[in-house]
Amino acid sequence: MKLVDAFDAMLGRMTSRERRLFAVLATAIGVAVVAAVVLAMSAIFGSIQDEIDHGRAVLAESRVLAPKYKELTEHRKAIEDAIRANKSTARSMVNEILKKQSLSGEVPGALGDTMADVVSFEGKTNDTPVEVGKAKKKTTKGKSKDTGTGIVQIEQGLEFKEIPQGDLMAFLDMVEQAKDLLFVTKIDASRKFNDLSHVRAQVSVATYQFQGGGDEAPAGGGEAAGATE
């Protein structure tokens, strides 16, 4: 009550003009306070609205991407299942293709009339663990790094000493169109200087197998060189 009495006494000592000025000042302060509160509340509600709008946009985008994500997930699972089911070596698969392809021209030293009769296989395969989803890390020399996928790329080298150039192109096309897990990974070919229709070629093909994190021996490793199986 003392504060109220002091305030009344202060007003009592003011002239009418001072009271009007005081009222204007008090009103201005009140308006400023109310405006500040309104602005603060608007900023808060605006931020909340932005978050709601962002959430709606993300949800709409997720709905659009969901079918594609499902398709890619199913495709990846199909590839993984195919790799797990694959028990064939790259050599056996490519040799079946070579047996079915006839030579279109004469090849010196050929044992027959198919591509399988003019090819030699490298004695060893190059087996590389596949690391999915993260960059490869260097490992200490002499120590292998467990990738956690259990998938291994098995690469087989082939050598054609002299074959028609068109036959080589046809062979590569047949490998690329094969339904098996077989892929061309390297090609090194050169024409013969005395017969430009024939080429010498070194080709590498690869397949993928699941080997349970490397517990099993790599399939196809250490195969002896030969023309056919």
Residue 213 has pLDDT above 60, yes or no: no
In a domain, 219, yes or no: no
208 with 154: CB under 8 angstroms?
yes
Point out the domain boundary residue: 40, 57, 82.
Answer: 82
| Helices assigned H by DSSP within 86-104 | 90-100
Which structural domain range is residue 123 located in? 88-137+147-214
Residues 202 and 131 in one domain: yes
- The reply to whether 97 and 185 lie within a common domain is yes
- Asked if residue 182 lies in contact with residue 207, where contact means CB atoms within 8 angstroms, the answer is yes
Query: Residue 228 falls within a domain, yes or no?
Result: no
- 32 vs 195, residue with greater confidence: 32
74 and 107 co-located in one domain? no
| pLDDT at position 229 | 41
Query: Position of tokens 């200087």?
Result: 193
Are residue 73 and residue 50 in the same domain, yes or no? yes
Give residue-wise pLDDT tens across range 10-36: 666 677 777 777 777 888 888 888 888
What is the pTM assigned to this prediction?
Answer: 0.56
Looking at the structure, do residues 29 and 74 belong to the same domain, yes or no?
Answer: yes
Return the structure tokens found at 82: 């195919």
Residue 23 sits in the same domain as residue 113? no
Domain at 167, CATH number = 3.30.70.60
Residues contacting residue 148 through CB under 8 Å, at least 6 positions apart? 131, 213
Kindly report, residue by residue over 119-150, the tens digit of the pLDDT. 888 878 888 888 766 555 554 444 444 445 78
Instruction: Look at residues 155, 158, 175 and name the one whose alpha carbon lies nearest to residue 218.
Output: 155
Q: What digits encode the pLDDT tens for the residues 83-109?
A: 888 888 888 898 888 888 888 887 776
Select from 173, 204, 200 the least CA-distant residue to 189.
Answer: 200
